[in-house]
Amino acid sequence: MSFETSFKALSDPVRRKILQLLKKGRLSAGEIASHFDMTKATISYHLNILKKADLIWEEKEKNFVYYSLNTSILEEIMAWLVDLKGDHDDEKC
């Protein structure tokens, strides 16, 4: 996982909404698609980008594919952002 890939994936509002949906728990591709007015192929495209960025996991069960958040990657990004922001006391030195 690279931050560049993650940030590129996060730059699209559709993908951010998919992540918001998955925050509540795992969903099938069809369940995700039902929240959008676009083709299933387009949703699949967005899911693939999120998978390549390691922001989501894919799990196959029988005839369905379920997606869930990879919170460890999100935590790594958040930790980097907090570190980037730094401690305001550092500015006084």
Q: In terms of residue numbers, what domain contains 78? A: 3-86
**pLDDT given for residue 93 in this prediction:** 47
Higher-confidence position of 86 and 37 = 37
CATH number at residue 53: 1.10.10.10
**pLDDT given for residue 89 in this prediction:** 58
**String of DSSP letters for the chain:** --HHHHHHHHTSHHHHHHHHHHTTS-EEHHHHHTTSSS-HHHHHHHHHHHHHTTSEEEEEETTEEEEEE-HHHHHHHHHHHHHHH--GGGGG-
How many structural domains compose the chain? Answer: 1
Answer yes or no: is 92 within a domain: no
**pLDDT given for residue 90 in this prediction:** 55
- The answer on pLDDT for 1 being more than 70 is no
Taking only the tens place, the pLDDT of each residue in 3-59 is: 788 889 999 999 999 999 999 999 999 999 999 999 999 999 999 999 999 999 999
Answer yes or no: is 54 within a domain: yes
Answer yes or no: is 93 within a domain: no
Answer yes or no: is 53 within a domain: yes
Answer yes or no: is 37 within a domain: yes
